[in-house]
């Protein structure tokens, strides 16, 4: 064991290590607060000055991360900054930056590359650098490694490089950062040892892997598994609907089988930062090896078509009421990508809103978790959430149920909405003004 590794492990074990978290979003902020709770001083980095001001004043911009947790971390030394020079003071540097798709649906790892380049001048011997962003196999070795070693440090001897994919599930009350098993892999054996020690301080169960590529592939498999199965059940929904069968009844019945079946439920399309995006990271990388991932790409086509399918059902419903979509007023219920959270990343609801507006309708939304439509990279509506009252519900020509938040009064909606397009299977009993989508 090198002196640098030995010193790093000693600082981590004694909780003297300063933990730096880059990217204070849905992944980075909970991780930062977890390390603070575990007894470490944490320095958070983000390029968003508004986030920095919010956090340093004891506030929070993520619904399930309370201001009280942030305030508690501040009392233990937590500070947020946009000055990357402070990387030099950190013992561990964890990258939690976005990895979206570009307009050609190809991987955009520019945030990873820019962050690696931004921290490179401030790296020093005895640090561990961990990438948590979901990405294609080979990113850690091909993109992060050479940028670290451009500083003159040797990875595995002077500094230690780790890949440990995030596994956050916003709104899931059964799991949190501490209780979700953590995949950890290092560029070398020494790197892996440093990574295991780093994450053991914050997570109950660390799962070491043989290589960073295997860890990168593991994260993709987890999300591709879900994407493919959701694509299957979305396609089954279309078939069942054409046959006059309730797909939700069928899934519930199949789920009574105690073996060999896992229930997945259809919806208006995929949402969240991972599932709509991650499969395309693998399909893109597979082409480098002369492979065509037909199964994965087919499920992606099915899932991407769901918002248009929902809007098609809306058009059919309005036609049955002697109305056209153009000129109608439509309320979209729920714009977060799944129930009971405020996370709107890649939300199918937003695409549905854009499709409705593009066809000449006036669109509004109601979401108890998102009072104002937030600033997004690719989408914007100058709207605020509509309060659900009998008067407001009756003022709309149709209501599209896109996200089934528990805080919605579904009985009230059913009673006063003129037309309901239900993409979540909330209303199981047939009714003349309810269309299943």
Q: Residues with catalytic annotation?
A: 274
Q: 182-186 and 160-163 as β-strands: parallel, antiparallel, unpaired?
A: antiparallel
Cα distances from 198 to residues 13, 35, 130, 204, 206, in angstroms, run: 8, 10, 9, 12, 10
Outline where DSSP puts E strands in 116-181. Answer: 128-131, 160-163
200, 58 Cβ separation under 8 angstroms = no
d(CA 154, CA 142): 15
Output phi, psi for 303, to 5 deg. -65, -40
3-state secondary structure of 269: coil
CA-wise closest residue to 153 among 127, 189, 186 = 127
285, 135 Cβ separation under 8 angstroms = no
DSSP category for residue 418 = S
Number of other residues whose CB lies within 10 A of the CB of residue 366: 22
Cα distances from 275 to residues 127, 219, 437, in angstroms, run: 32, 11, 21
360, 323 Cβ separation under 8 angstroms = no
Say which residue the tokens 């070491």 belong to. 208
372, 301 Cβ separation under 8 angstroms = no
264, 275 Cβ separation under 8 angstroms = no
Cα distances from 417 to residues 186, 230, 325, 434, in angstroms, run: 55, 29, 16, 9
**Residue 214 CB partners (closer than 8 Å, separation 6+):** 137, 185
Query: Would you put residue 389 in left (φ > 0), alpha (ψ -120 to 50) or beta?
Result: beta
Outline where DSSP puts E strands in 187-294. Answer: 206-208
Residue 29 has which token pair? Answer: 């902020």
Query: Using CB atoms within 10 A of its CB, is residue 304 exposed (0-12), middle (13-18) or buried (19+)?
Result: middle
CA-wise closest residue to 192 among 206, 179, 181, 180 = 206
């Amino acid at each position: 064991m090198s002196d640098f590794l030995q010193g790093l492990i000693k600082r981590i074990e004694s909780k003297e290590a300063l933990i730096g978290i880059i990217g204070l979003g849905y992944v980075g902020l909970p991780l930062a607060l977890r390390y603070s709770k575990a007894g470490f001083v944490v320095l958070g980095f983000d390029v968003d000055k508004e986030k920095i001001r919010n956090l340093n004043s004891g506030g929070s911009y993520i619904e399930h991360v309370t201001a009280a947790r942030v305030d508690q971390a501040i009392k233990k030394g937590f500070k947020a900054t946009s000055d990357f020079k402070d990387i030099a003071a950190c013992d561990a540097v964890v990258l939690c930056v976005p990895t979206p798709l570009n307009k050609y649906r190809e991987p955009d790892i520019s945030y990873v590359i820019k962050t690696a380049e931004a921290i490179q001048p401030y790296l020093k011997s005895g640090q561990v650098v961990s990438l948590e962003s979901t990405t294609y196999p080979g990113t850690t070795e091909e993109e992060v490694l050479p940028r670290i070693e451009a500083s003159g440090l040797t990875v595995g001897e002077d500094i230690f490089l780790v890949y440990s994919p995030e596994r956050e599930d916003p709104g899931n009350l059964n799991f949190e950062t501490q209780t979700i098993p953590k995949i950890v892999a290092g560029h070398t054996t020494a790197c892996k040892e440093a990574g295991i020690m780093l994450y053991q301080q914050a997570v109950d169960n660390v799962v070491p892997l043989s290589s960073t590529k295997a860890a990168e592939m593991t994260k993709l498999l987890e999300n591709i598994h879900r994407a493919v199965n959701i694509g299957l059940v979305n396609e089954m929904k279309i078939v069942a609907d054409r046959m006059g069968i309730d797909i939700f009844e069928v899934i519930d019945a199949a789920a009574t089988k105690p073996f060999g079946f896992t229930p997945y439920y259809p919806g208006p399309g995929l949402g969240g930062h991972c599932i709509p995006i991650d499969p395309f990271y693998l399909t893109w990388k597979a082409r480098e090896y002369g492979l065509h991932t037909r199964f994965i790409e087919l499920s992606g086509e099915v899932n991407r078509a769901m918002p248009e399918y929902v809007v098609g059902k809306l058009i059919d419903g309005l036609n049955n009421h002697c109305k056209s979509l153009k000129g109608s007023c439509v309320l979209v219920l729920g714009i977060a990508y799944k129930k009971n959270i405020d996370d709107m990343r890649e939300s199918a609801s937003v695409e549905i809103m854009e499709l409705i507006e593009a066809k000449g309708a006036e669109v509004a939304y109601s979401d108890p978790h998102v009072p104002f439509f937030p600033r997004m990279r690719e989408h914007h509506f100058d709207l605020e959430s509509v309060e659900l009252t009998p008067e407001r519900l009756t003022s709309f020509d149709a209501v599209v149920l896109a996200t089934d938040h528990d805080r919605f009064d579904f009985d009230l909606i059913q009673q006063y909405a003129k037309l309901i397009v239900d993409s979540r299977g909330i209303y199981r009993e047939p009714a003349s003004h309810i269309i299943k989508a």
